[in-house]
Amino acid sequence: MAMSQIKPVLTSTETAQTDIAVSVRNISKNYGAVEALKDLTLDFPRGQLTSLLGPSGCGKTTLLKIIAGLLKPSSGEVEVNGKPVVGPGPNRAFVFQDFALLPWATVMRNVAFGLELRGVAKSEREDVAAKYIRDVGLAGFENSYPHELSGGMRQRVGLARALSVDAKVLLMDEPFSAVDEQTRRKFQEDLLGLVQNENKTFIFVTHSIEEAVYVSDQIAILLPRPSRVSEIIRPTGFRNKPMDQIRRDPEYLDIVDDIWASLRSYVE
């Protein structure tokens, strides 16, 4: 099956009719003489998960940090809920690849830390943190410290922390890359549940084609630098099937194969 048969690229009409949470317009980013992004334009639908997929060094994390307000673009603009991004803000939360936990703080303190910085009362922030600790499967570990947890558990703490601040946009930079395959698959299933239940917009960086197709409502394929969007794919045909059947679905397998065929020439 050819890529053009399975990738419904959003038309301007479809984009206009979609509720957009994050809008990236003509973003360019230069690091000295190196042009990382060039005139990149992309919309992120509200309440959905969009994966940024492409070869190493194509600017996925750079784009994520620009959306987060951690990097300033050389040109272009980003809007979140119609307002320009000028720096970090409470409407966005970042889930880092390397956990970024406070080593001296318990799970409860780590998860509640963002609320603590906002001045939320201790009893209230701990109630919120406890909910998300349960939601990510860490009930009973509230008083544990990061060094007492596995890598997968530490990543769950980071996810719970991002969820607890009630940001409407969650930015996830390869959050499952440091865990084993079994844990990664469980995380992917949990992530699908969060997308369905949390009514948040997820922007997800991954190098895994299989992962992107499995978890995404929309996949933006980025070309090597200077990066721009090559394809937008919406793998919708198997979304209503049980999770344990998705990876065997013919459309899922075809999309994975066709994305690989599209990207393989860029892999060194």
Q: Each residue of 21-42: pLDDT tens digit?
A: 999 999 999 988 889 999 999 9
Report pLDDT for 13: 34
Q: Residue 139, Cα to own-chain centre: how many angstroms?
A: 24
Vertex 162: Cα angle to 160 and 165 (nearest 5)? 105
Q: Residue 100, Cα to own-chain centre: how many angstroms?
A: 16
Burial class (CB in 10 A: 0-12, 13-18, 19+), 92: buried
List the structure tokens of 247: 């990876």
What's the pTM?
0.85
Q: Each residue of 219-256: pLDDT tens digit?
A: 999 988 888 898 999 988 887 788 888 888 999 999 99
Residue 8 banded pLDDT, cuts 50, 70, 90: very low
> What is the average pLDDT value for the chain, to the nearest integer?
86
Q: Each residue of 187-215: pLDDT tens digit?
A: 888 888 888 888 899 999 998 999 999 99
**Domain map of the chain by residue range?**
3-91+170-266, 100-166
Cα–Cα distance between 114 and 239 in angstroms, integer?
33
- Read off the pLDDT of each residue in 143-154 and give the average, rounded to a whole number: 90
Higher pLDDT, 212 or 58: 212
DSSP string of 6-49, one letter each residue: H--PPPHHHHHHS-EEEEEEEEEEEETTEEEEEEEEEEEETTSE
Is residue 70 within 8 A of residue 96, CB to CB? The reply is: no
Cα–Cα distance between 268 and 254 in angstroms, integer?
23
- Write down the architecture of domain 3-91+170-266 according to CATH: 3-Layer(aba) Sandwich (3.40)
Higher pLDDT, 37 or 8: 37
